[in-house]
Chain A
Amino acid sequence: MTSTKGSPGLTILMVENKEDTACLLEFVLQKNGYRVIHSNNGSQAKSLISAMDPPDAVLLDMTLPDTTGLDLLDYLRTQTRWQTTPVALLTTNVESLDSVRAAGLGVNDYILKPVSPTRLAMRVNRLLADSKRKQPRVA
């Protein structure tokens, strides 16, 4: 595997309902130095979003049992502190996405499933690097 080490200690909130996929993504992210908080449904994710400080990035599955990724993202963006948190959507088919709504909600990246572990790490590193570059301008 190509070296794609992320910054150690950075936290990622991952909302993914399929246990096998979640376990796999979690392993790849942890292997790259990230701390992963996993939620497997929309309501649990909403509770987490209300209670916790924003993580460094969010990975959001498009299809969840009790809500959709975009609805959850909509909720997430209503939380003042989460408005600039970088978000990547995990999806099997980018063409079926409501891309206009996604763009309006500030999606930063799309990660296509099935995932390549190397590419996943690279995309998350880039997502975080891009958001870091933008931060001073936001401030």
Chain B
Amino acid sequence: MLALNHSDLTLRVGSIAVLCIYSAVVLLLAGILLLRFIRLAKERRRRNVTEIWRPLLAQCVVEVPETLPALKSRDHLVFLYLWNHCYESVRGDARTLLNELARRTKTDQFAKELLRSGRLRRQLLAIVTLGHLQERSVWNELEGTLQADNAFLSLVAAKALLNIDAQAAIPLLIPVISRRKDWSPLKVVAMFEAVGADLAAETIAKAACLAAPEIGARLIRHLAATQSQYGLPPLRALLRENSPSDDVLAACLFLFGECSDPRDMATVRAHMSHPTWYVRLQAASALGKMGVEEDEALLIGLLDDEHWWVRYRAAEALSNLPWMTADKMTRLCGALSTIEAHEHMLPFMAQSNVRKADSLPTAPPERDTL
């Protein structure tokens, strides 16, 4: 037994310590049990809400029933996850019906409360929901969220603004895109998918023109993913009217090569002798994609460039030219005057010979991103 009243002080202190440890263990166990109980109760509630609302949401993509079960406020969060998932799984009229369901269950009101809750996960859910609902009343709050320190939160807000009113959102977004270093250009391109590739390309190009070189160059490179030519006019104007940095220039040349618009041929040719090696490199790569027969000489000239990568890309570009056959490459290789030029052509000539031997359709050699 514990000797709490024992005359020996050491024994008394020891007994008190043992009692404290026992109490702490019991409290800890009780805490663990309580947390487990809360978690199970939450899980049970989530399951119940899912069982009721999942089939109802499926039904709502076809028609919204006249009577709906009551939705308790503590269940609304689970409902929001289900509703958003369902919304993103359908398109067309089904989304209008889901919006009707959301308004009838006062989901718009609930989402507005979540937006002001100050908890990140809830704010994200609220912003996504309000974007889907095209809720104009939160426009100013979403616009303010564009400046949030959290990049993900601000990107989600940008997407919601685009969902609510793309035409009004774009002028707001252009300066933000050009300023935010933490926004992934890939995410920016994906964000604009919903509003259409052409509008996306034009907006991103305009943002790139305003941006600092390191942001602008990244945005321009990713413009190729939109597969739209609408991004080209602002960039042509930028090259014509300003003197952009070498990074931006190289990115523009990369994009010109990807888009292969003959109107950009003169610009590409003009940069074949640029003092910066990576500008020459991008000009060579672009010419390999869009060049005509008279450009062959320009590319052959770059085989003697002082920089290894430029020589390599020039050789690759030559091998990519649509009229370049294995025999023609062999003849070209034989006529080269320097060892460097010859060495760079050899692997591409070998590839070309293998393709010829296998009678495979001519596919360009794999490119890396430089």
Contacts and interface: CB of A to CB of B under 8 A. Distances in A.
Contacts of A20: 54, 57, 82, 85-86, 89
Nearest to A30: B58
Contact of B58 (A1, A23, A116, A118): A23
B93 A24 contact: no
B32 interface: no
B61 interface: yes
Contact of A114 (B58, B59, B90): B90
Nearest to A120: B90
Interface in B40-62: 54-55, 57-59, 61-62
Interface of B: 54-55, 57-59, 61-63, 82, 85-86, 88-94
A85 to B, nearest CB: 25
A21 B94 contact: no
A117 B62 contact: yes
A115 B87 CA distance: 10
12 contacts: A1-B63, A20-B54, A20-B85, A23-B57, A27-B61, A28-B58, A113-B89, A114-B90, A116-B94, A117-B92, A117-B93, A117-B94
Given A1-B62, A27-B62, A28-B62, A114 B89 contact: yes
Nearest to B58: A27
Contacts, number: 54
B91 A24 contact: no
Contact of A28 (B54, B61, B88): B61
Given A27-B62, A114-B91, A118-B92, 7 more contacts: A1-B62, A23-B55, A27-B55, A27-B58, A28-B62, A116-B92, A116-B94
Max chain B CB contacts within 10 Å: which of A20, A28, A113, A114?
A20
A4 to B, nearest CB: 11
B300 to A, nearest CB: 36
A14 to B, nearest CB: 13
A117 B54 contact: no
A19 B62 contact: no
A134 interface: no
Interface string A15-45: 0001111011011100100000000000000
